Structure formats: structure tokens, C-alpha cells
Amino acid sequence: MAEADPPVARPAPTPIDPSELASRFEDEKPGRVLTGPVAVILTAATLVIGLLALWQVFRPLAQGSKYYLIFFLAGVLPLVFLAYPADLRLPRRLRAMVAGRASTPDLDPTVVNQHGPSRVDWLLAVAALAGCLYPVLPIALAGGGGGYDAFLDRQGLLVGMDVAMGSLLLLLLLEGCRRTTGWILPAVCLVFLGYGYYGGLLPQTWAVAHAGLDFGQLVDAFYNSDSGFYGTPLDVAATYIVLFTIYGAVLDLSGAGRFFVNLSAAAFRRSRTAAGRTAVASGFLLGTVSGSGAATTVSIGAVTWPILRRAGYPAERAGGMLAAAGVGAILSPPTLGAAAFIIAEYLGVSYLQVLGWAVVPTILYYLGIVLSVEIDARRSGVRPAALEASSAWQLLLRSGYHFASLFAIVGLLAIGLSATRAVVLATLLAIALSFLDRTHRLTPPRLVAALSSGVRGVLAVTVVCAAAGIITATTTKTGLGPQAAALLVGAASAVSSEPAVVLALTALLAAVALSLLGLAIPVTASFVIGWVIIGPALLDLGVSAPAAAMFVFYFAVLSEVSPPTALAAVAAAAVTGGRLVPTMWHTLRYALPAYLIPLAFVITPTGLGLLGIGGPQRILTATAVTALGVAVLAVAAGGWLPGVGPAGVPERVIGAAAGLALLWLQPVPVAIGAVLAGVMTVGVYVRRGFAGPSGGTRAGSPA
């Protein structure tokens, strides 16, 4: 008998590196891993930028915020060309020439990316520095220059040198966007640029036609106005976002992320659905400091996917849960996403008010996910999974201080401090508290790493915010916003003249447009475009500014879970190994309430209660009714009524109708929705009676 072949040893699975994996699925593309002198230069530059941002909080530059923004962009844009590769497919000989090396037959296509910045990258960095600092150039140059005040005095009367330097900065920002986010956003910016330049050639009978702008006028709007490169989006990036990113890096290095995941596991370790609840709770807790959907998805997935697999969750269902929980990070106070800070600036309100508007929708969003987890556990026969975790009380006693800085932000905002000062003081508190844990104490070298990491994390969003000025300035100069709003409202009015129907149809069209827009560009840019184009349509129909802004914000965020791109779902599938398309559809099912809740607070005045506006009675009524609607929709989507049994197709259809009716927060629709919800419940009870005492539960699943 022939001897059997010895078993082949399989390699152990490669451990997941959350930070590396997350970078592949963020809005921005992954940057270079720099070493040697270039890494030292980058670290030193990021430290200077971080210290400048901190200095501006307590000792603002006397010349004003725009003066500060010029220096901030001058620090960030050159670093983009050093930290992010060109990532272009070039001929082999040209790649070698660009890299500054001799041509070799076996040159790897990625050699430019692997060996740090090329000569062209350094040249672009120097050009970016010159283009950014030109407005403050203290000497006269070819009729231009002459200092900051002289540059401002030429607004509307730019000389040739001004136009040349503004054009240079325009091209460099487009290239910076391409390197950090891909081709789509630069293409969108070029479309707006083309509209500004050629719009005067359109037939004047068209609603979107305008008088026309020459190239000098466009550059003046971009380079020397408050709505261009140095407009509100860049102001937000250079004041709020950079400080909150530094705060997040400090918390991460102090061990807060691991603590939040461990606390979630400890809180639910005795529950039948411990695995799913742990994933959802981890997403919420990490989201309070992350503000990033894909990064949170990967972070919680790396820890909780083995638990979910042990409990019997299919890879696609688990991936959908992780992605939906991770995207909630952008919707969760107190950090939210970058666009939330832009809301505060656009509406002229405090950041604390924006946090208040987000509280109830966040609760309802996670309520929908938790209910879906409970339904899935019963419908799919998920097994209880034993979690190896300490007592939640022991963890809180040992490491609960990580919550202190989060509470400090809210408390400092409540007593009237600005968001910038609040987050700086909270960061200092987090640094001091880190010394309670010997493993994660922020010694000077680790503090430098946190500050550098925080500033590097804002490079891409800064370039996006500066490039968004192309869109806002063009829209302002041409009057495109009101014209597009009129077209959107006109399309809805063509269907019905009833004001309530027109508002509902406009909101629906706006939701579709924002979802499609967000598929291709980052959340921040999607919000800016949505606000200047779609925001006016909602405002014209009587929607309050807070409701319109939060509506645009939510649908800009939800692009991360919307097929066919769904970055968070792609990241989750990479963690679980599940099939991509089913993972996307499961993500969509888990996140369903987030798509419907914004419609609720736009189409009815009572819906403002969901934003905490309108007094206790309105807030409680809107929250309770919408919570019931979310619960009914979760049953309709999941096909199971917890505590009763499976729901058939008729019950699920009735439940979907009930949930949609309950989201229309008016007495008659609410009454109809409540009746339909009761009919659905009775139908499930009747179905269970016909199926027998087990209610059709699968073997091994809990009742």
C-alpha cells in the first residue's frame, strides 16, 4: 500500500492591519510610507502646521482668518505631493526618467511609489508653495505682489501675474485632488469651471444660462474672494477638522479605541445576541472619536468578525452589519463628519447646536440596526457566542477615564467655549489621562507621532475643501444655485400642484440626486455641492435651514453604504471575505432607517422634533412615532417579529406601508400607520398559530 502524502501545511491567515486596510477604502487614496530624510521633513512640516493651528486658536493672526488660511494651505498642499504618489501609468523609460533613475529592463511599475517622492513631486511641491504664498509676497513682481493688503486691493482688478499664479494654484489643487481622491472630483470641478466660462454661450432661454465670465474673472473669484479657495470649506478644515483629527489621533494612541471595543464585548457577554450587539456598540463608541465610516468599519471588523463567525453569521450578513455600524460613526456626536463643521459655519450657529440636531437621528439609526441584529439572530439561527471579556464595571473602573475628554468637549461647548478651544482643552485632558496607563502613556516621542499623524490625516480633506471653492465660487458668480433649485421644484410641480406633494417629491428627487452624487466624490465635497445646488430648492419650499442642511448632510454621508460603490461595504467585505454585492445589500437593509429619517424631518413641521427643535412635546411625539416606524420597517425588512415569529410576504408588505406612513408625521398618516402596524402584528400571530408553537423557528435558533 502506498504511503499517504504528508499533509500540506497551510500558511496561517495574515493578520488584519486595520490602519492599512482602512486606507484602501477611505474617501482618499493611500499615501506613501515615507522613511529617511523625507519622513523627517514631513514630520517636521506637520508639526509646524499643527502648532500653527493651535496658535491660531488662542492667538489669532492680526491680519484675519484669510491670512491664516493662506499659510495653512501653503503648509498642506506641498506635503500632498510628497505624501501621495502620482499613481500614473507611464512608459517604462519615462517612469525611470521621472523617478530620477536610469532605465532598467525590469523596472517595477510601482517603483515611483515605492521609493518616495520623485523630482517632479519636489518640483510640484515648490510650485505649490509659491502659488500659495504669492498673495502675501512682500515685494512687487511684474505689476503684482506687493504684500497681502495690495493683493486684496486688486480684487476684481487682477493683473497678469495674479492670474498666472492663481491659474497655477488652480491646476495644483486639481492635481492634489486627483492624487488624494481620484479623477472624479477634479472632473466635477472642471465641469463647473467650464460652465462658468462657456455658460454665456448657452441659449439665453435656458434656465441655467448666464451672462458669461472670462477666465480672469473666474480666477479672481477663486483666488481673491471669500467664496473661492479660501472660503468656508477650507476655513473649516484649517480650524475645526485639523484639531479634531489631532484629538482623534491622541485618543487612538492612548488606547481609547481598544477600550471601547472591550467595553462593548463586556457589556453584552451574557446575551444571546452578544456578537451582533458588540459589533454595533463598538461602531457607535468608536464613532464618537473617529468620524470616518470605512476606518471604523475595519477597526471593529478586525476585532468582532471572529466573534460573529463563531456565532454563525454568514460573511455577507456580518459585513453588512459592520458597514452599517461603521458608517454611523459619521453621524454620531460629538465628532460627526467634516461636513458637520461646515454646517455650523454656513448657518452661523454653534457646533453644539449641530450636535443637538444629530442626537435623535443617531439614536434612531442605531435602534434600527439593533432591531435588525435581534431579528437576524432569531431568523438565521445564530448561536450564542461566549465572549472572553472582563466585567464591564471592572473595565470602567480601570479605563473609564477615556470618556472624560468626550464629556469635556460637550461640557465646554455648553458653557460657551468655542469648538476649537473645547477640543484643544479636551486633547490636553486626554494627554494627561494617558499617563494612568503605563502601556499607552503619551511620552514626548508618542505625542509628536500623534500630532504628526493628526495633521497628515487632514491633508486630503484640506485639498478637497480648497477645491470645493471652485464649485462654490462658480455657483455664486453665475447664480446657478437658484436656477437649479427652480428646475428641481419645477420638475416636482409638473406632477402635482399640491404644496405637500411638491415638497415630498422635491425631497425625494433631492435624495436621489445626492445619493448619486455621493457615489463618486468624498462626503465633504458632496455636501458642499448639495448645499449650493439642492439646499436652495428646499429652502424655497419653506423647509427650515437646519432641516435642509441636515438632510443634505445625511444623504452625503449615506453614499458610503449606497450601491454600487458603498466604500464601507467594500471595506467590510475585505475583512469578512464575503461576496461584495450581497454585502452591499445587507448593508443597505441595516441602514434603511437612515435613508428615511431625513425625509421625515423635511416634509412635515412635526419632523423638526427629530432635530430637537420645537419644544418637549413635539420632540417626544416625533421621536416616539418615528421609533415605532423604524421598528416596523425593521420587521418588514427582516421578516421576523421578535418574541412572536416569522412574518410572511403579506405581513411584510403591510409593515412596509405602515413604516412609511408613520414617517409622515401628521395625525392622519400616523393613525393609518398605527392601524397597519397592528394588522401586521395580528397577521404574524395568526401565522404563528397555523405554524405551531415553534412559530417556524429554525432548529437551534432562540425563540
Q: Write the pLDDT tens digit of every residue in 382-401.
A: 766 666 666 778 888 888 88
Closest Cα to residue 563, out of 589, 591, 584?
Answer: 584
φ and ψ at residue 237, rounded to 5 degrees = -65, -40
Q: Is 645 helix (H, G, I), strand (E, B) or coil?
A: strand
* pLDDT band with cut points at 50, 70 and 90 for residue 123: very high
What pLDDT sits at residue 534? Answer: 87
Which of 277-311 are b and which e, b meaning 16 or more Cβ less than 10 Å from the residue's Cβ?
A: bbbbbbbbbbbbbbbbbbbbbbbbbbbbbebbbeb
Angstrom distance (rounded) from CA 413 to CA 587: 34
What pLDDT sits at residue 223? Answer: 92
Type and span of the H or E element at 640: strand 640-641
* pLDDT band with cut points at 50, 70 and 90 for residue 110: very low
Residue 489 has pLDDT above 90, yes or no: no
Q: What is the chain's mean pLDDT, rounded?
A: 82
Type and span of the H or E element at 144: strand 144-145
What pLDDT sits at residue 702? Answer: 38
C-beta pairs of 631-635 under 8 Å, 24+ apart in sequence:
631/367, 631/371, 632/658, 632/659, 632/662, 632/673, 632/677, 632/680, 633/368, 633/592, 633/593, 633/596, 633/659, 633/660, 634/368, 634/371, 634/372, 634/375, 634/592, 634/593, 635/371, 635/375, 635/680
Q: Where are the alpha helices (DSSP H) in 15-110?
A: 18-25, 36-58, 65-83, 92-99
Angstrom distance (rounded) from CA 286 to CA 702: 30
Count the alpha carbons within 13 Å of 671 in the hemisphere toward its beta carbon.
Answer: 2
What pLDDT sits at residue 18? Answer: 55
85: left (phi over 0), alpha (psi -120 to 50) or beta: beta
What pLDDT sits at residue 167? Answer: 94
Q: Which residue has the higher pLDDT, 451 or 561?
A: 451
CA 273 to chain centre: 28
Residue 146 has pLDDT above 90, yes or no: no
What pLDDT sits at residue 270? Answer: 62
Asked whether 129 and 139 are in contact (CB, 8 A), the reply is no
Q: What is the pLDDT averaged over residues 473-482?
A: 86
Q: What is the pLDDT averaged over residues 543-561?
A: 87
Angstrom distance (rounded) from CA 110 to CA 95: 9
What pLDDT sits at residue 107? Answer: 36
The full DSSP string for 375-403 is HHHHHTTPPP-------HHHHHHHHTTHH
What pLDDT sits at residue 379? Answer: 75
- pLDDT tens, residue by residue, 16-67: 555 555 555 555 556 777 778 888 999 999 999 999 999 999 888 888 889 9
Angstrom distance (rounded) from CA 205 to CA 460: 40
What pLDDT sits at residue 588? Answer: 85
DSSP 458: T
Residue 211 has pLDDT above 90, yes or no: no
Angstrom distance (rounded) from CA 505 to CA 284: 32
379-393, 469-483, 618-632: which is most confident? 618-632
Residue 178 has pLDDT above 70, yes or no: yes
Least confident of 6-20, 123-137, 411-425, 568-582: 6-20
284-288, 311-315, 377-381: which is most confident? 311-315
* Structure-derived torsion over alpha carbons of residues 562, 563, 565, 568, reported in degrees to the nearest 10: 50
What pLDDT sits at residue 32? Answer: 75
Cell 427582516 -> residue: 638
Strands (E), 420-498: none
pTM for the full predicted model:
0.81
- pLDDT tens, residue by residue, 293-352: 677 788 788 778 888 888 778 888 888 888 888 888 777 777 777 778 888 888 988 888
Angstrom distance (rounded) from CA 421 to CA 405: 13
Count the alpha carbons within 13 Å of 318 in the hemisphere toward its beta carbon.
Answer: 29
- What type of residue is 297? T
Closest Cα to residue 308, out of 242, 375, 373?
Answer: 373
Q: Which residue has the higher pLDDT, 104 or 194?
A: 194
CA 500 to chain centre: 31
Asked whether 607 and 358 are in contact (CB, 8 A), the reply is no
